[in-house]
């Protein structure tokens, strides 16, 4: 992206417009190097989002942004239903409620030395991964509906999770307003055998070591100790979320055409929040959020069983579980007045600052943990939401490193087995059923996650707490 067309507000804040059909400006949070590395499509898509009815304040872009479907990945936009605001399937994404979950274990990295290979193999056997992967859990139609309404609470009630986890999951582990009846039948059918599965692409389960602490107070509140290891899971609502996104996007395209709504691109198809279609989509999307919350709870349950086999004295404890492909109803101050808004975060993480009432007591004085995945070779970060960030981007932050090149380009450039061998030489063990998938997710295909989180911190979105180094990576 060319900086020349942007107005620089400060070191990490840039603005465009509003001009022409734009209803609000575009605001980009990144340093100059990250902006130069963004593809031009990010600029175009963020401008297109700013033209949608009922948008409030700005079309925001996070430091890890790259081209997406409709909205840029790393895009944040809030809409006011009372002002004709819309909900967009493209503004949520196809992997609804894809997110990151991290669990402290109390195990020292040094304790892994003699069991690292065996632990990696055991995790790979226990965690179904890959395209179309299915697990041992099979749900009938009634059980699918119950899961869609109950989320992680349903998983815990079925012995597939720990009740103590629920206070450390967004929405207490169960998204209100879910409507199983709004979920297409094909979506439900796809999910019957996919609970407790990892999927493919950039999804993973990693054993990570805490390598560096930046904020000792927040680290202590989060239970992060240098040299100890965590379990981190990155996945979402699997085939169910993708089917919901596909079918509702088609409906929204048809409805937009029938209503004569001018869209800058087809992928931005949307529906008024209070319309019948908008309400149905929100009901289905919330059900998909519950699916993802249940899925990560089950995956965590499976991983903890493996960990306890090798380390009976381990004490796994959920740090946090946060989603990054959602639309949620939240109250935010806009020009000093509270407004009820429908906040789309696509490839962006909610990052409430200290004192927010939705946070559990143990975290409220510090702020919400923000879990930022890097790549299987470069590591990840734990951040914390900063005071005042609601005014910056509705309390949002980056969700990962962000791709620097397409999967197709990565596949042409790297060999999967060579990546596995190179990482093993650096004591990072990768287990995957697909060397093609490993090549597509090569560390070099991603931006510098350290630069991304530093930009987020300097922009006042979220502050660095700890850097995590991968030790074992299970991929699809």
Among the listed residues 301, 332, 399, 408, the single catalytic one is 399
**Is 90 exceeded by the pLDDT of residue 415?**
yes
Q: Where are the beta strands (DSSP E) in 71-146?
A: 73-79, 86-88, 99-108
**Cα–Cα distance between 244 and 260 in angstroms, integer?**
24
3-state helix, strand, coil in the chain (%, to 5): 40, 30, 30
How many CB atoms are closer than 10 A to CB 275? 16
pLDDT digits (tens, 9 = 90+) for 65-112: 999 989 999 999 999 999 999 999 999 999 999 999 999 999 999 999
Report residue 340's pLDDT band, with 50, 70 and 90 as the boundaries. Answer: very high
**Cα–Cα distance between 442 and 416 in angstroms, integer?**
8
**Is 90 exceeded by the pLDDT of residue 48?**
yes
The predicted model gives 397-406 an average pLDDT of 92
Instruction: Identify the CATH number of the domain in which residue 389 sits.
Output: 3.90.1860.10
What pLDDT, on the 0 to 100 scale, is given for residue 252? 95
What pLDDT, on the 0 to 100 scale, is given for residue 65? 96
Burial of 146 (0-12, 13-18, 19+ CB in 10 A): middle
pLDDT digits (tens, 9 = 90+) for 146-202: 999 999 999 999 999 999 999 999 999 999 999 999 999 999 999 999 999 998 888
- Locate all alpha helices (DSSP H) within 93-227, ordered by sequence: 116-126, 141-157, 185-191, 216-222
**Cα–Cα distance between 381 and 230 in angstroms, integer?**
12
**Cα–Cα distance between 111 and 289 in angstroms, integer?**
36
Which tokens in the block code for residue 467? 């850097």
What pLDDT, on the 0 to 100 scale, is given for residue 5? 84
**Cα–Cα distance between 350 and 366 in angstroms, integer?**
15
In the block, tokens 């909610």 appear at 350
Number of domains in the chain: 1
**Is 90 exceeded by the pLDDT of residue 258?**
no
pLDDT digits (tens, 9 = 90+) for 212-254: 999 999 999 999 999 999 999 999 999 999 999 999 999 999 9
Contact call for residues 430 and 37 (beta carbons, < 8 A): no
Range of the domain at 253: 3-475
Return the DSSP state at 365: T
**Is 80 exceeded by the pLDDT of residue 262?**
no
**Cα–Cα distance between 151 and 175 in angstroms, integer?**
7
What pLDDT, on the 0 to 100 scale, is given for residue 134? 84
Task: Give the DSSP H/E element, type plus range, for residue 201.
Answer: none
b/e sequence 393-427, b meaning 16+ C-beta within 10 Å: bbbbbbbbbbbbbebeebbeebebeebbebbeeee
Report residue 384's pLDDT band, with 50, 70 and 90 as the boundaries. Answer: very high
Return the DSSP state at 189: H
pLDDT digits (tens, 9 = 90+) for 352-371: 999 999 999 999 999 999 99
Q: What is the DSSP string of 295-310?
A: HHHHHHHHHHHHHHHH
What pLDDT, on the 0 to 100 scale, is given for residue 250? 95
Report residue 293's pLDDT band, with 50, 70 and 90 as the boundaries. Answer: very high
Of 77, 9, 35, 86, whose CA–CA distance to 452 is shortest?
35
Q: 399 an active-site residue?
A: yes
**Cα–Cα distance between 453 and 349 in angstroms, integer?**
12
């Amino acid at each position: 992206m060319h900086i020349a067309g942007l107005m620089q507000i400060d070191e990490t804040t840039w603005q465009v417009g509003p001009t022409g059909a734009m209803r609000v400006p575009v605001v980009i949070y990144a340093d100059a190097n990250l902006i130069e590395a963004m593809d031009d499509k990010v600029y175009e898509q963020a401008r297109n989002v700013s033209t949608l009815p009922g948008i409030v304040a700005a079309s925001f872009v996070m430091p890890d942004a790259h081209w997406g479907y409709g909205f840029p990945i790393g895009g944040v936009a809030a809409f006011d239903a009372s002002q004709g605001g819309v909900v967009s399937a493209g503004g949520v994404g196809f992997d609804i409620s894809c997110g990151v979950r991290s669990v402290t274990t109390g195990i020292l990295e040094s304790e892994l030395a003699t069991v690292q290979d065996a632990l990696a193999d055991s995790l790979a056997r226990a965690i179904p991964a890959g395209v179309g992967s299915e697990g041992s859990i099979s749900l009938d139609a009634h059980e699918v509906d119950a899961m869609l309404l109950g989320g992680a609470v349903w998983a815990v009630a079925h012995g597939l999770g720990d009740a103590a986890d629920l206070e450390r999951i967004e929405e207490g582990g169960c998204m209100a307003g879910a409507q199983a009846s709004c979920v297409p039948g094909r979506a439900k059918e796809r999910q019957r055998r996919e609970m407790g599965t990892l999927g493919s692409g950039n999804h993973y389960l990693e054993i990570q070591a805490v390598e560096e602490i930046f904020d000792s107070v927040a680290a202590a509140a989060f239970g992060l100790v240098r040299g100890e290891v965590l379990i981190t899971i990155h996945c979402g609502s699997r085939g169910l979320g993708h089917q919901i996104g596909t079918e509702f996007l088609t409906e929204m395209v048809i409805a937009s055409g029938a209503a004569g709504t001018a869209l800058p691109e087809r992928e931005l198809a949307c529906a008024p929040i209070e319309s019948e279609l908008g309400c149905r989509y929100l009901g289905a999307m919330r059900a998909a959020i519950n699916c993802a919350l249940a899925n990560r709870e089950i995956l965590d349950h499976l991983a903890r069983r493996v960990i306890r086999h090798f380390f009976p004295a381990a004490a796994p404890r959920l740090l946090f579980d946060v989603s990054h492909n959602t639309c949620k109803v939240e109250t935010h101050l806009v020009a000093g007045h509270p407004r009820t808004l429908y906040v789309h975060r696509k490839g962006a993480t909610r990052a409430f600052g200290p004192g927010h009432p939705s946070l559990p007591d143990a975290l409220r004085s510090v702020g919400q943990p923000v879990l930022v995945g890097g790549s299987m070779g470069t590591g990840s970060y734990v951040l914390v939401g900063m005071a005042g960030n609601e005014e910056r981007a509705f309390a949002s932050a980056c969700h990962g490193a962000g791709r620097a090149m397409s999967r197709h380009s990565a596949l042409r450039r790297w060999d999967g087995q060579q990546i596995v061998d190179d990482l093993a030489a650096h004591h990072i063990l990768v287990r995957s059923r697909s060397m093609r998938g490993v090549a597509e997710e090569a560390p070099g295909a991603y931006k510098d996650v350290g630069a991304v989180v530093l930009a987020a911190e300097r922009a006042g979105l979220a502050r660095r707490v700890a850097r995590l180094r991968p030790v074992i990576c299970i991929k699809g």
